[in-house]
Amino acid sequence: MILSVHQPHYIPWIGYFDKIAKSDCFVFLDLVQYKPREFINRNKIRTQNGWMWLSLPMVSKGLGGQPICACRLDNTFPWRRQHWNSLQSWYGGAPFFDAHKNFFRALYEKEWLNFCDLSVTIIRYVMQQLSVTTPVHFESQLGTTKKSTERIVEICLKLHADTYLSGAGGKAYLEESKFTEAGIRLKYQDFTHPAYQQHFMKHKEDFLPHMSVLDLLFNEGPRSKEIISSP
């Protein structure tokens, strides 16, 4: 069984879903420490003039040292209205925006308190749209006690996985010998970013990679899964 893990991210990029789709089991690392100024609470969407961030405001008290599952959204800032308006403004003319607008309108009408609740709700929705049926778990429900590479090995053993699929970046920090010692095969994600038709794109060279998965979903609709899995 192939297992992969990742922190919950807000509207992740398409490589996130490629890794889930290539796994038999996926675990949200909701117990790891929140790191500001990374991709956890923000991602990119395409605009007419390039791209922009959609960033979630976080309650800052104790933020630097708390696990992701404890992070709270700062609702004193009108982020829900701003994010919804941005999606409507820059994707309202995209071919498949209307197919998803009711879900996202309702999403942004709700007052979310917990960062993970919001992010996982979006990830589950996108998985459904991509027909990705990989079972998901939360580290906070597994009773883990280890850190770093040993934490990943512990998760694999708890869920009886014989193969761990890491992102390519794992080559820089994973202690590969610990997987070998535990009898777990270590694989690295081999993902080549596909190009597709984007709203506001006039020529092939205008394509902007590494946008949120919503960019793909709103532009390509039912073809999105095929595009992600294309060689």
Average pLDDT, the chain: 95
pLDDT band at 204 (very low <50, low <70, confident <90, very high): confident
pLDDT band at 63 (very low <50, low <70, confident <90, very high): low
Tell me, yes or no, if the pTM score tops 0.75.
yes
Average of per-residue pLDDT across 44-54: 97
Judged against a pLDDT cut of 60, whether residue 98 lies above it is answered with yes
Residue 231: the pLDDT is 63
Residue 97: the pLDDT is 98
Residue 139: the pLDDT is 97
Are 64 and 57 in contact by the 8 Å Cβ rule? The answer is no
pLDDT digit string (tens) for 107-145? 999 999 999 999 999 999 999 999 999 999 999 999 999
Residue 207: the pLDDT is 96
pLDDT digit string (tens) for 158-183? 999 999 999 999 999 999 999 999 99
Residue 229: the pLDDT is 86
- Structural domains counted in the chain: 1
Give the structural domain span for 93: 2-228
Give buried/exposed letters for 160-198 (b at 16+ CB in 10 A, else e): ebebbbbbeebeeebeeebbeebebebeebebeebebeb
pLDDT digit string (tens) for 65-80? 789 999 999 999 999 9
Among 40, 9, 39, smallest CA distance to 26 is for 9
What whole-number distance in Å separates Cα of residue 206 and Cα of residue 213?
Answer: 18
Q: Which two tokens stand for residue 77?
A: 């800032």
Are 106 and 80 in contact by the 8 Å Cβ rule? The answer is no
What whole-number distance in Å separates Cα of residue 220 and Cα of residue 231?
Answer: 17
